[in-house]
Amino acid sequence: MTGTCLKYEKPLTVEDIRLANGTYDEEGRVEIKVFDEWGTICDDSFGLEEATVICRMLGYGFATGFNTSVHPGKGPIFVDNLDCGENFSHINDCEYTTMHNCSHSEDVAVTCNAPVQEPDEKANASEVNKNNTATDSDQNPTNLIPTPVPEPDEKANASEVNKNNTATDSDQNPTNLIPSNVQL
């Protein structure tokens, strides 16, 4: 029975990428899938720019850190001496070799920035529309811009409140502002 020898060379056909064994989704050992097999990236020459490229491939904006994974991987070590520029977004934009002098104790791990969550209509309790009103989960409108309250104008004011909590109308007839059943 004859087997097929797969040649790993640049550019690699990266089928998928993931972070494994991290405490959070945005951190862990870098694993890439090539020829339907998961493998790792060696930490030789690896820095923050390279980590940022990995994070961009995963959908994050940038890397906040990198190190040698505390959990060695399995399978092939696909990439060694990865060297990326600051604006690169895929490892195939970078320089690297597929021949390596690494062991899995040198597998690289990265930490990416936490993703910015896009608003989800179902999860969002309110939505602002073009009229500056919001609707709560029951679709009740709420005005977000307060309606201005006009300043009182003494001449235009038809009533005046005195110290006994009564008001007088324009004919000077008193009106009690506090109901009689309320004790002060």
pLDDT of residue 107: 96
Mean pLDDT by 10 residues, the chain (184 residues): 57 92 95 94 94 96 94 93 92 89 94 72 42 48 49 47 51 55 54
Tell me what pLDDT residue 156 has.
Answer: 44
Question: What is the rounded CA–CA span in Å between residue 182 and residue 153?
Answer: 30
> For residues 14 and 32, is the Cβ–Cβ distance under 8 A?
yes
Cis status, amide bond into 11, omega within 30 of 0: yes
Predicted pLDDT at 119: 56
Give the tens place of pLDDT for each residue, 97-138.
888 889 999 999 999 997 656 555 444 433 444 444 444 445
**Residue 21: closest CA among 69, 59, 85:** 69
Which domains, from first to last, does the chain contain?
Answer: 14-112 (3.10.250.10), 117-147 (no CATH)
Q: Residue type for 39, please?
A: G
Q: Residue 13 and residue 122: Cα distance in Å, rounded? A: 37
Give the pair of three-digit tokens for residue 16.
Answer: 């998928």
Nearest-angstrom CA–CA distance, 162 and 170 = 14
